[in-house]
Structure 1
Amino acid sequence: MKKLTLLSLTGLLLLGLAGCSDLTRAIRGDDYVDSQASASASASSSEAASAELQKALKADSSAFPQLSTEVADDEAEVILQTSKGDITIKLFPTYAPLAVENFLTHAKEGYYNGLTFHRVIADFMIQSGDPNGDGTGGQSIWNGEDDSIDSGNGFKNEISPYLYNLRGALAMANAGADTNGSQFFINQNKEDQSSGLSSDQYPQAIIDAYKKGGNPSLDGDYTVFGQVISGMDVVDSISAVATDSNNKPTESVTITGIKIVKDYDFDKK
């Protein structure tokens, strides 16, 4: 199974366990967390996620925003301008508000301008968003300033049963759970991926969509927050460039700018 990683970073680490009477405390950085309370919260979250999945499994195709090229009132739209051409993408702030706000803010501030597609794997994905240009860098717009969002290692994953790593899906690259910074990728694979997908885990509309390609092996580990609605020929063109042994293009492919076609007001949320 292929996995996306930031090349020199590791995921968040559980630093240690210590006993205190009958109470076990897990240490995460400088914070002590009651493991019993944490386990209870995790179980509650898992139950909610399971209930939401069951609801999604019964939904028709109109419930899945990636399956439409129309840009809804609660969605945003950008044009990712590259040295190979333009890619039009709609974004899903309802399902991935952190990732969308992070991307739009970086775009408005010119953070991505001039950055390269530093990792390209044909029949898989194209990746960009790193100021270092080698997969080792990039920060979120919060960068640890708001601990409820960003620990300094990156902001939280936003996984939804209504968004998947279909062909053309825009997703956050990470170095493990909740380490999202600025790097992102676009799923490019065009081979049928529907075989073997279980109807107990995937809505039928999504199984059908995977016939056009994508990377279902990434589902659940990476935040999907957008979908290409025009310009997949450009994505395919970028994926086809020659690369070195580290999957870095031997010719520079850059982001020349990002045009905000339709913004989103996060203050109204």
Structure 2
Amino acid sequence: MRFRKSACITSILLFFLVSCGETSKKKEPESVAKQEVKDTVQEVKEPSEPEPEEKEEKFLLTEENAIDFFFNYAQEEKANKVKLTTSMGSFTVQLYDNVPYHKANFIYLTRKGYFDNTQFHRIVKEFIIQGGNSDDKETPRKRRDIGRYLLPPDAKKGYKHHRGTISMPSSERDNPHKLASPYEFFIVVAKPGSYHLDGAYTPFGRVIQGMDVVDAINQVPVGDGDWPWQNVYILKAEVL
């Protein structure tokens, strides 16, 4: 009798355990299904829009096309004055008409907004101030958008590096021909001038107004590499 009771109890327990196991198995897929539905909803994407038509390829200046481009640009561009407004005041330069590539380059970069927010990054007391570069990431981006090129020297037009002359430095690349770095410029501060530069660099204009601002910039304290301790910005360059 006891054996029958024990067998009966065992049967009931087995039935109960089996029933619980089946219930658990039935609930697990439901939980997984809810999670899958949630994930699927998150992955739903908006209907894709038609791909835009291909844009016209961006024009970039290169060492192969720069001379032809600036030759033609100089024929059309008649302006010859540029005003530079700096964080220390403004001054105006007049560009020489018979130095066409360098004049055209300076006006082109001004119209493209390149010089805006660059700095006078090298200042040598009683010698020069040099501008057109910066430690801002925006400056190399603007250079990439305009192009990579150099300009040949044009130092045989009779212009000398008098005080107030704006000239173009040579590239830092291996450069036996003194090809000019088109994105930078320097202004002579020395009195009466820095004539040892004649023949090696290209004067392409002169300061006609605001030389006192140039002198003030030349007096700011500098650190290693002649970089000013306090940044001197070109806030805006504009063609007059």
Q: Same fold by TM (over 0.5)?
A: yes
Partner of 2:128: 125
Distance in 2 (alpha carbons) for counterparts of 1:105 and 1:173: 18
Distance in 2 (alpha carbons) for counterparts of 1:230 and 1:141: 31
Amino acid at match of 1:188: V
Is the contact between residue 82 and residue 238 of structure 2 (CA under 8 Å) also seen in structure 1?
yes
Is the contact between residue 115 and residue 234 of structure 2 (CA under 8 Å) also seen in structure 1?
yes
Q: What is the Cα deviation at residue 131 of structure 1?
A: 4.5
How many residue pairs get aligned? The number is 156
Structure 1 residues 141 and 220, CA gap change in structure 2 (3 angstroms): farther
| 2:104 is the alignment partner of 1:101 | yes
Amino acid at match of 1:86: S
Q: Deviations over 1:177-208 (max 9, x none)?
A: 11422110000012xxxxxxxxxxxxxxxxxx
Partner of 1:183: 184
CA RMSD, Structure 1 to Structure 2 (Å): 2.5
Tell me the TM-score normalised to structure 2 length.
0.60
Partner of 2:198: 219
Structure 1 residues 92 and 143, CA gap change in structure 2 (3 angstroms): same
1:129 partner SS: strand
Partner of 2:164: 168
Distance in 1 (alpha carbons) for counterparts of 2:205 and 2:222: 26
Structure 1 residues 140 and 171, CA gap change in structure 2 (3 angstroms): farther
Distance in 2 (alpha carbons) for counterparts of 1:215 and 1:141: 34
Structure 2 regions of 5+ residues with no counterpart? 1-77
Identity percentage of aligned residues: 31
| 2:235 is the alignment partner of 1:256 | yes
The structure where helix makes up a greater share of residues is 2
Q: What is the Cα deviation at residue 93 of structure 1?
A: 2.5
Structure 1 regions of 5+ residues with no counterpart? 1-73, 145-151, 191-212, 262-269
Amino acid at match of 2:83: I
Q: Deviations over 1:220-256 (max 9, x none)?
A: 0111001001111001000000000210000110101
Is the contact between residue 86 and residue 236 of structure 2 (CA under 8 Å) also seen in structure 1?
yes
Q: Which moved more, 1:99-108 or 1:178-187?
A: 178-187
Distance in 2 (alpha carbons) for counterparts of 1:238 and 1:129: 14
